[in-house]
Every structure is written in structure tokens, then in C-alpha cells.
Structure 1
Amino acid sequence: MSEAEDKALARKGRIAGLVIAVTMTLWVLLQWVAPAIGLPGRYALLFDFAALAALFWAMVVIYQMWQARAASRENQR
């Protein structure tokens, strides 16, 4: 794997990690704040689906990184 490809995969990994961390932080915060300010339950469900979408996106990116590294190992053999 070239240095440029390594840097690109590292950047993707940092972005995926950041998305996971921010998503979970916001989700926990919203679960605590929403009832305190009187938001209906349907908004909590909306927050849940948004968090699931962000986490699904991060899993897809991580899977792509895994496949890229596996392909790189195969090319080195």
C-alpha cells in the first residue's frame, strides 16, 4: 500500500471515529435533554433514527477500509 493510500485510509478512519463519538455524545445528551424540555416521544424516535443512520454510515466506511486493506495485502503477495 502506498503512503498516499495509507494516509487516505487513516483519514477515513479518523472521520468514522469522530462520527461515532459525536453521534453517541449527541444521542445521550438528547435523551437526557428532550424529556426535560418537554419534547414529545416522536422526536426521541427521530433522534434515534438519525443516530442509527450515522452509525450505519460509519460501519460502511469501516467495512470499506477493511476491504481496501485486505486488497492491499493480496496485491503485496
Structure 2
Amino acid sequence: MTTPSEQNKALACQGRLVAVVIAATMVIWLAAQWIGGQAGWQPRYAFLFDMAAIAAFIWALAVTWRIWRRQRRPLGNEDK
């Protein structure tokens, strides 16, 4: 068995970070929606949490796309 390269370790670390961000975003968003409904918050606060969740998901999508692109790059082209 070969040991993973430093680039593969970095990509795995980024992948774990993306997974944590996605999971935490869903939990926080669901909790905010439930709390807002129970406490009778105004709809604008619900939209605020919606926009924050969308921003987190877009960030996760961008980082995932970057990870995917780096894995598809041929060896020796680490500068891109």
C-alpha cells in the first residue's frame, strides 16, 4: 500500500471541511426555521437564514468543484 501524497492529504482535508460545512449548515438552518416558527419571528428573519444557508451551499459547491478539478489534473501540473 502506498502512502498518500501531500496533495491528496490536502484534498481530503478540504473534502472533510466541505462535509462539515454542509452538515452544519443544514442543522443550523433547520433549527433556525423551527425556532423562528415557534417564537413567531418575522418572515424577513427566515429569509436571512435562507440566504446564509444558500451562501454556505454555494461556497461548498465551489470548493467541491475545485477539489474535483485538482484531482483530474495530470501529475506535474500543480501550479494551476
TM-score w.r.t. length of structure 1: 0.89
- Alignment partner of 1:65 is 2:67: yes
Higher relative CO (Cα under 8 Å, sequence separation at least 6) belongs to 1
Q: Which has the higher helix share?
A: 1
Map 1:1-77; keep pairs closer than 5 Å: 3-71=5-73, 74-75=74-75
- The CA deviation at 1:75 is 2.9
Superposed CA deviations along residues 6-26 of structure 1, whole A, max 9, x for unmatched, are 110000000000000000011
5+ residue gaps, structure 1, are none
Whole-angstrom CA distance in 2 between matches of 1:75 and 1:36: 54
Quick one: which amino acid aligns to residue 52 of structure 1?
Answer: I
SS in 1 for 2:64: helix
What amino acid does structure 1 have at the position aligned with 2:12?
A
Cα distance in 1 for partners of 2:54, 2:20 equals: 15
The alpha-carbon deviation at position 68 of structure 1 amounts to 0.1
One-letter identity of the residue aligned with 1:64: R
AA at the equivalent of 1:43? Y
Query: How many residues are aligned here?
Result: 73
Greater mean deviation of Cα atoms: 30-39 or 55-64:
30-39
**Structure 2: segments with no counterpart, 5+ residues:** none
